Structure 1
Amino acid sequence: MRFFSRKNKKKVTFKSFFWGFTKVIAIFSIVGLIAWVIIISNPTKFLNVSVKWDLDERLPLSQNLLINKIQPQLNDKYNIDLRQIKETIEQEPWVENAHVKRLFWNYIKIKVDAKTVAMRWKDEKCIDNAELPNCLGFISNRGELFIPDRIIESDAIYAISNTEIDTIETLYSDYKIYKSILQPMIIKTIIRTNIDKLVIEPNITVILGYKKQEERLARFKKAYTKLRKKSKKVDQAIFDMRYPKGFSMGYK
């Protein structure tokens, strides 16, 4: 058995205290160093939201434009609202759908689908006054009218009508029926004001009126096919099909 004198006990106690104090100082020094490194390294950079974009190649919008649109939502680093980002992007007329997915807490992926142009569109009010605002737009392959800030070049059929949703939907639906009746003839323009009127390649105008349009269009095709065998002049004709059993024909 070993015995320690009171003097030895004091030495042991002082030595333990010294090493304990040194450890505390070392720990505080390390913590202080870490805090200093964090401060000078600007830790908010690590909190910035990163976005991986997947844009439809048909989309006539720049990535920078979309970034600017959603920047207010990205500024809140601690509470990213994916639904709000989706809704903000889908407010753009050219956007069909926006798919927003979180890959990590501050890393999101945004996939943007563009609308498909089925028809070019012109407001009937602009026929006589092209200076009016929002004269031009497009009808998508879902039968929806959209009027973007940027009007792109397109070879799609031209449609002229008012802006009412029901008018646009039935116009697009009827166009598909008219197209199937006339094949292989090609419709260039469909005009729906108080009556329906078509312009067909190369330069044929067909007035269908406001009722029995399908029946009248089938009757036109039959008459045109017969007349075309006799003269190419009918390619420049105006056919008024609003008569009960016949039609009138003139030239432009």
Structure 2
Amino acid sequence: MSRVRNHPSADPSIQQQRLNGIRIVPLLMIALFAGMGGWGISQLLDPMIMPVRVVSVDGEIKYLNKQGLEQTVVQAVSGNFFTVDLIRIRNQIEQLPWVKSASVRRIWPDTLAVRVDEQVPLAYWGEDAMVSPQGEVFRPKRLPRLQGLVTLSGEEERADRITREYLKMRTLLQTAGLQLKYLRVDARQSWRIETEEGLLLDLGRRDVMPRLSRFVQLYPFLRGQVDAIPERVDLRYTNGFSVYWQANTEQQAQMDSPSSGARIAGK
């Protein structure tokens, strides 16, 4: 009779021990790698490891204080190269009065690159601010004294519309040889213009551009009719305007629309 000899490896208990051993090794490796990963992450979070050492500033900067900008970035930096909050830094930069927009990025191994788009001053806004061509009002700590800039005034929430109208008015007045100096929109939304020549134009609240256009068309005729300089023009009429002359005695002339025939009545 043949006998079957059982190999030790066939013992179920021994096989189970081997299986358990095989399982333990990967688990130990996973634990080891996890521990190393945790250690690595803690090192990356350490602000003393890989600190930010350099701040570079790019962009066409004319009015912004570059040293003040760099200081703002340094004060906003918390953490190291990997953990620094770029969005927080950008928001801090964009709170500076002369900054229109900003971007911040990392450059290996220790640099933050800042790019700034500066506000372009189109005009003064009231007594303590400036306004950009897009109608954004901003308040520098010190207003620069810039030649050729007019002053706009009105409710700040309407700055974009006032700016757009100003640009059209400036172009229209230039066709008549007049330079706009001051534009004011009061609380009743009534528009008034002062030119560099000292001429005041009352435009009222409605049909502002059509009224100004009518005045510009008749301005050469107006200057040629009376031997005096117009001082103030009231354009708040449907088909005409009133002119107050700069003379020894006050004069007023009533100008009808061209369709009904121009007429000057001295007073």
Q: TM-score, normalised by structure 2?
A: 0.66
SS in 1 for 2:218: helix
Identity among equivalent positions (%) equals 23
Given the alignment, which residue of 216, 228, 231 partners 1:233?
228
The residue aligned with 2:237 is: 243
Deviation at 1:159, TM superposition (A): 0.5
* Structure 1: distance between partners of 2:73 and 2:50: 19
Q: Does 1:90 align with 2:98?
A: no
Q: 1:212 aligns with which of 207, 232, 248?
A: 207
Q: Quick one: which of 125, 138, 149 aligns to 1:156?
A: 149
Q: Which of 218, 232, 239 is 1:223 aligned to?
A: 218
| 1:71 and 2:74 correspond | yes
CA contact (8 A) 2:52 2:112 kept: no
User: Cα deviation per residue 1:95-148 (whole Å; 9 max; x = unaligned)?
Assistant: 0121212111421211212100111110xxxxxxxxxxxx41011011111122
Task: Tell me the C-alpha RMSD between the 2 structures.
Answer: 2.2
The runs of 5 or more residues in structure 1 that have no matched partner are 1-43, 123-134
Alignment partner of 2:171 out of 180, 186, 207: 180
Are residues 232 and 186 of structure 1, via their aligned partners in 2, closer, same or farther at CA, if it must alter by over 3 Å?
A: farther
Q: Distance in 2 between matches of 1:45 and 1:177?
A: 57
> Per-residue deviation at 1:46?
6.3
Structure with the higher fraction of residues in helix conformation: 1
User: What SS is found at the alignment partner of 1:117?
Assistant: coil
In 2, Cα distance between equivalents of 1:211 and 1:250: 22
> Following superposition, which runs of at least 4 residues in structure 1 exceed 6 angstroms of deviation?
none
- The question of whether the paired residues in 2 share the 8 Å contact of 1:206 and 1:238 is answered with yes
Q: Which amino acid aligns with 2:73?
A: I
Report SS of the residue matched to 1:182.
helix
- The equivalent of 1:47 in structure 2 is 51
Matches within 5 A, 1:135-146: 135-146=127-138
Please say if residues 120 and 132 of structure 2, whose CA atoms lie closer than 8 Å, have aligned partners that are also in contact.
yes
CA distance in 2 between partners of 1:54 and 1:46 (Å): 23
Q: Of the candidates 183, 191, 204, which is equivalent to residue 184 of structure 2?
A: 191
Report SS of the residue matched to 2:122.
strand
Q: How far did residue 45 of structure 1 move?
A: 9.0
Bigger RCO (CA 8 Å, 6+ sep): 1
Aligned length: 194
The secondary structure found in structure 2 opposite 1:67 is: helix
| Residue-by-residue CA offset, 1:10-55 (whole Å, 9 max, x unaligned) | xxxxxxxxxxxxxxxxxxxxxxxxxxxxxxxxxx596343111225
Q: 1:218 to 1:192 in 2, by over 3 A?
A: same
Determine whether 1:203 maps to 2:207. Answer: no
Aligned to 1:169: 160
Moved more, 75-84 or 152-161: 75-84
Match of 1:56 in 2: 60
TM-superposed deviation, 1:62: 2.1
